[in-house]
Amino acid sequence: MFSVVESRRLYRQVADQMRKLIERGDFAPGSRLPAERELAELLAVSRPTIREALIVLEVEGFVHIRMGSGVYVAAPRPLADAEIAEEAEGPFELLRARTVVECAIAEDAARAARPDQIAILDNILARMAASLENRPVALELDRDFHVAVADIIGNGTLNRFVRSIHDLRLTPYFEKLASYFENPMTWRAAMEEHRAIRDAIAAGDPPGARAAMRAHLDQSQLRLSESFGEEPADSVIPAAWRRAGGQLQTI
């Protein structure tokens, strides 16, 4: 039986409930879980929260995600060494934090940028344009761009924040999530969004720089919000799941 989902680290609470159902055998290896939208309705949470929970379960070895097909229960061989720390932030939580901080950083950078600092941004963008097919390099250059924007205002605390929050993208959780939604097309889009940020900073346009950074991070969230694959609209939730979730209280 599902219990009420608590608000703290919501995606972890959802993952815990799903894991318990799988461990006790309510869903056999190879069986398909209900679609994201149906899980979201059963648990009274958002679809991004369901997506974050499913990534946890895949990293731990409980499910396999097949893009365009759905989520399937894996053979019972969870990967203990790939467990995610209880306090780990999810990608949408990190993006919200980045929006609060990095938009303000971009705004201040537009007030203070020197020509040599703009040249650093240009160099990073040129290298990124040549690395769209190479995810590890593109990821590193993406981090370098955001760190270089923070460097412009010369605040060590903010610089460390930007570095550390980008480093979280190197964890198994984020690597798995990125494997579904990052590709040369999304990296090209990110690069063009970076260019808009650079142009506003170079023009000495603080409101424009804030808006460009906000647009970039909003688009980043949209890119991570693609579905793993939905069932047809007339699908029926499996009876086992309905029995398990039928008495769930909303939050």
What secondary structure does DSSP assign to 48-66, as a single string? HHHHHHHHHHHHTTSEEEE
- Segments making up each domain of the chain, as ranges: 10-86+228-245, 91-223
pLDDT (mean) for 30-46? 87
Query: pLDDT at position 238, please?
Result: 52
**DSSP class of residue 32?**
B
Which residues contact residue 215 at a Cβ distance below 8 angstroms, ignoring those fewer than 6 apart?
193, 196
Whether residue 137 has pLDDT greater than 80: yes
Of the pLDDT bands very low, low, confident and very high (cuts 50, 70, 90), residue 8 is low
Could you give the CA distance from residue 84 to residue 11 in angstroms, rounded to a whole number? 12
Query: pLDDT at position 228, please?
Result: 63
Whether residue 232 has pLDDT greater than 60: no
Condensed to tens digits (0 to 9), the pLDDT of residues 94-127 reads 888 999 999 999 999 999 999 999 999 999 999 9
Assign domain 91-223 to its CATH superfamily: GntR ligand-binding domain-like (1.20.120.530)
Whether residue 200 has pLDDT greater than 90: yes
Whether residue 1 has pLDDT greater than 90: no
Classify domain 10-86+228-245 by CATH architecture. Answer: Orthogonal Bundle (1.10)
Beta bridge partners of 73: 63
Whether residue 141 has pLDDT greater than 90: yes
Query: pLDDT at position 243, please?
Result: 53
pLDDT, mean over the chain:
82
